[in-house]
Every structure is written in structure tokens, then in C-alpha cells.
Amino acid sequence: MRSPDEYEVWPGRSAPLGAHWDGTGTNFALWSAGAHAVDLCLFDEDGTEHRHRLRENTHQVWHGRLPGTGPGQRYGYRVHGGWDLGSGQRYNPAKLLLDPYARAVDGEQSLHPALFGFRYEGGEGPDPRDSAPYVPRGVVVRDSFPWDGDRSPATPWSDTVIYEVHVKGATIRHPDVPPALRGTYAGLAHPAFVEHLQSLGVTAVELLPVHQFVSEPHLPRRGLTNYWGYNTLGYFAPHAAYSSAGTAGQQVTEFKAMVKTLHAAGIEVVLDVVYNHTAEGDHTGPTLSFKGIDNGGYYRLREGDPSRYQDYTGCGNTLDVRRPQVLALLMDSLRYWVTEMHVDGFRFDLAAALARSLHDVDRLSAFFDVVHQDPVVSQVKLIAEPWDVGPGGYQVGNFPPLWTEWNGRYRDTVRDVWSGARVGVRDLAYRLTGSSDLYRSDGRRPFASVNFVTAHDGFPLADLVTYEHKRNEANGEDNRDGESHNRNWNCGVEGPTDDPEVNELRRRQVRNHLATLLLSTGVPMLTAGDELGRTQGGNNNAYCQDNEISWLDWTEVDEDLRTFVARLLRLRRESPVLRQEAFFEGHELADTGGTRDLAWFAPGGAQLDTGDWFDNDLQTVGMYLDGRGIRHRDQRGRPVQDDSYLVQLHAGAEPVTVHLPGAPWADGYEFAASTEWATGAPPRPTVVAPGPIEVPARCVWLLRVLRRP
């Protein structure tokens, strides 16, 4: 058997980029426009390094083929070139660099001064220390997998229910998942967790980042780690730490098996992806990959001072999507995850940063053009986080058709209403009905709005009604980090209490938020654990808490709350009027005696007038949805008919008497759900007549309309 030092490097091919095994050898290809030379570095099991100069350069791609090199081979690159910070050049062959196209990554990053391309302790010129012992390596993989007819559930947007979840946090404490599988891709695919998703009625999991990531250097210095994963190093590699089977390529197979299992259960897989910045940080950050391969080619450097980075992300750098090679990297990555890994869509972190052509956010940027024209990526679910931290970066409602958006306006409005803010019901009406003010003008549908009240970033729902002030001391930043204005209310007591009335109020407030979310037109997104009563102890920025603060606790489950969520989702699933595919018109319906597809009622029983809409003190509203006025048709072109409903929402601190509308709107009403009951279900069949009725304080009713034959 030959030593890797004896391998002959054949010319190979310049495409595709990355390391590709063909059955007898592996082709390696790396793009670098400014490099003077590139060394391919192979590593034995014991860490011994073997360097091979890539002597072929075609269209700025350095390439070579090594016969006999195959799956499981660890590798990296050393790139030779100029060192001139004033012009943005940071080439340093002392630093082992990860292939941006690596399909798998092995090894951990260790905090050491050698990680940095510059002299960390001061001095001129590049740092000469070898970083190889302290950085992860790429792995050559075998892409074959027995998909056996796997197909995406392809759930229509209007039927979609998203569950935002962390791969590790989901099952690391789950008693019914075998210990060896907890916190892994295999754990997420275990029947104990899959059955939980199915029992709720979830149709898609949105996984917090699973691209290979590392911790920012400041975290291990404080004894912490990056838990959420928004610090990407490899855009093709599933994060190795989530693999139960190994990290020499087994993580790829395990991820695929997870996707196949979830698909078989009718659940789509959406990835939270971070293409706006990388793990290399700002000018003081480490040199791990892009920075040493072609710094000015991958990143947006500051005009007038290329030694610094343009930072639209708040994370130190911004990938320069204006450049063809960077845009190709993103699209190659997206296509790979769809075609090879069978994922069903993407949620783009800080998507406004990707849309910046020069300075402003540009709806017609090259990124959108390429996505819309791509025959693969344009066919999957595309979700934007429609903001970044740069000027003009808040772009809710401004992404083009094909895109759905995390609706930050929805979150803020619903929180305001239930926290007691005097905001009236005008904005709430837009949010309950799909946010037509944001999404209708350019031809999008109500499902362009991904509605949410909580997400990974911020308080979980139980904490939203328990704390008004963040408690982030464990993050090591003297509680300066995290959002201070959370639009929330602690129900009169800060933090946990033994007061039964306060605790009951908090439980109802949780149900109020969830009922509002699940009865709104649009796509609901649940944050994992909100249906269980999960708390983070007041930490609203737990990005660095890889521990019990963040993990789901399956030993302390609020079973009534879980039943409540499942009930509301079942009602939503069975009632097309609650998940409309087109915006409401508010027009009178023919042959109904004068009802409308959508109508709004004041407490006195009359429809809201102009004064009501602009009354900031109004905290009670009735939303009438007529199931005979649904504007979409079924697959055979037939009109869709459904029951009619009245959603009665009262956010006031005292009970209120409302007048339920009578004929022609209804001859009676039947309780379908109410937040005054722990599981949402009435203790017995409850039918009420039109006319006056008292609604409890802080309550949501879902009333099914009854009509005489």
C-alpha cells in the first residue's frame, strides 16, 4: 500500500468544486482568484499530514485528481499568496483551510492563537504558527443512499404548520429516546419524537442551523459554546456533532435517514441557513476557510479600508453575494441540500443582507434573480427573515413573490394586544387575516405571512408571561445582551410565584397567544417547547447555553397545554375557512341574507365603524368567517364549503358583555374551543343563542355557527 506522499497528482477537472470520489480516485477543485499556489493536505488517522501541490489552474480554479484516494479521507488546503491588509489580502499558508465545498467535516476547533492569520499578540506580517492541530478537516464522502422512492410530502403552504426546533435540544433529555441517539439526527427521527410531531399536527420542522458551525472565540474563553449554530463554517456539511454514527462521512448518511423517516411521517424538513456571514468574524477573527482562500473574493470589504469588513449582519462580516463565485457557492449549496439531502425548503437568516446589491436592500438583486430562475431551488419552500442590522434593513412585506416571510409585524402586534398595550384592534385585524397590507399589492397570498409569537431568539412563551425583564447573566455579558423591549407582561409578578391566581392567569395568557396564532390566516410557526410549557428561566438570548436552559425538558410537560395545541391544530386542519388561500374581500355573499365572507363585530353587536377602527382603547373584537365565502376551489375546480365561525377575542382585564350577532349571521353558536379551559375543550357540549353573553377577562373563543335547516 502506497503512502499518501507517493500519490501521483493527476490534472483532474476544474468542475465541480469540492472533493468528488469517482470510484477509483478523488478530484479536488478549489476556487481562488488571487492565490499564487495551492497545497492539498491529506491527513492520516493519527494526524500525519501529506502535502500535494495542485499545479493546474483553470478559470481561477486550482484542481487535481488523486487516484486511490477515497471516502473517509480527511483533507484541507494551504493557500499561498500576498499578505497586504491594506488591499484586503490575507493569504497565509501556515493556516489549514477548510474546503468551502466539503461534504462532511471531522474534528473540533480548539481555541489557540494559531487560529488567527495575523499575529494575535501583536507585530507585523502574517502569523507563522501552524493551525492544523486546532481546526477541523474536510472529509471525502460517498454520496449514495437508498432513498427507495422517498418523496417530499409537498404540503401546500396553506396547510403548513411549522415547528422550529433545535436538533440537539429536541431529544437530548427525552427518556424514550435511547441514550446513544439523544441529541442527534437519529434522535430527531426516533418514533418517540416523530409521534409527538404527528400528534400535534405539525407538517414541517424548521431546523435551527445544521450546516457545520463553530463557536466564536469569545465563547470558549468564557466557558460557553455556540448552541444555536448561526456561525457557519461549511455550507455543504451536516453538523458533525449531531451525528450518533461517526464523523467520517456517517453524519451525511444519518442526516439523509432522518429526512427519509420524517417524509414517511408526512413531515417536511426546512433548514435555517446562514448565507449572510461566516464563522470567521471581523478583522480580529480566525482564519479558517474563506478568509485565507480569497478574502476579497468572498467578503464585502469596507470601502476606503479593505482591512476591515462591511458588517450588515452584526456578526463581523458579510458574504459578498454580488460576486459570481459567491453567488454560485450559495446556489450550489442550496441545490445540493435539495437534490442530495432531499430537504424541502429553507429559512434564510438575515435575508435582507443577501438582497443588498450595493448599499440598499434591492428586491431585484442578483440573488433573487438566480433563485427565481433556478429549476430546483425555486420549487421548494423559501422563507426570509426579512431584516438585517444595516441601514434600511427592516424589509417586512418587501420580498418578491415566491418568498414567504417571518412576519415580525405579526409578532409585535399580538404581543402588544395580550400585554395590555392600548393599540386598538385595527392592526390586529390585518394580522389575523393574513396581513393583506403587507403582502397583497404584489400578488402574494396570505401564506406569504409566516405568523409567529415566539422564536428561538427571545423568551419562550412561558417566560413571555412570567418575566418582563431578561435574565441573561449566565451569558457572561452582564445582562447587556438580548432584547430589552419584549412587548410582554409578567401578569403582575416578576418571575416564578406560588400564587395560584397568577399562575392560572399565566397559563391562560399562554393559551391566548397560541389561540391567536393558530386561528390566524397565514402559516403558523410554533417554537419547540412552547406546547410543553418550556421555560428558559428568563434568559431571552440563550444562543450560548448548550445545557438545561435551552434543552426541551420532557419530564416537566404541561399535558393540558399539549392537548390544547393539538386541538386547535386539528380544528385548523379540518376547517379550510381557518386557513384561507386568498385574501378576504369583505363583500356580501349571494343568497345568504346579507352575510360577508369576513365581518368584524363590536361588543354591542354592530359591525365595527370607522370610530371603532381608530379607537386605541378597544380591546374586544369579533371576527366572523363565513365558510360559504371561501375564494379558492379544490383540485377538481369545485367550490370549497365549510362551517362558519365567530372568533371572539377579548384582551381586557375585566369580563365584558358582548352581543353575538343573530340572523342572518347565525341562529346559534356552539363552542369549538376556548382559552378559559385548560385543554380548550368545553366540559360538555355548549350551545349558546345570539344575544348578550359575558366573555371572561383575557379570553379567546372559537364559536361554530349554527343555522337552521
- Residues marked active site are found at 349, 385
Helix axes 559-574, 500-518, angle to 10 degrees: 20
Q: Is the dihedral of CA 317, 321, 327, 332 positive or negative?
A: positive
Residue 572 exposed, middle or buried by CB count within 10 Å (0-12, 13-18, 19+) = buried
Cell of 45: 488517522
Nearest alpha-carbon partner for 240 in 252, 230, 232: 252
Contact between 234 and 209 under an 8 Å Cβ cutoff? The reply is no
Q: 28 φ, ψ to 5°?
A: -115, 135
In Å, what is the CA distance from 475 to each residue of 210, 226, 250, 539, 646? Answer: 22, 11, 33, 9, 45
Distance (Å, rounded) from C-alpha 188 to C-alpha 185? 5
Cell of 254: 444519518
Contact between 454 and 461 under an 8 Å Cβ cutoff? The reply is yes
Strand partners, 622: 601, 648
Pairing assessment for the beta strands 523-527 and 449-451 based on DSSP bridges: parallel
- Provide DSSP, 595-659: -BSEEEE-TTSSBP-HHHHT-TT--EEEEEE-TT----B-TTSPBP----EEEEEE--SS-EEEE
Nearest alpha-carbon partner for 359 in 307, 298, 310: 310
What is the Cα 332 distance to its own chain's centre? 20
Distance (Å, rounded) from C-alpha 455 to C-alpha 468? 17
- Provide DSSP, 93-112: TTS-B--TT-SEEES-----
Query: What percent helix, strand, coil does the chain show, rounded to 5?
Result: 25, 20, 55
Distance (Å, rounded) from C-alpha 222 to C-alpha 472? 14
Pairing assessment for the beta strands 305-309 and 301-302 based on DSSP bridges: antiparallel
> SS3 for 418?
helix
Distance (Å, rounded) from C-alpha 25 to C-alpha 389? 45
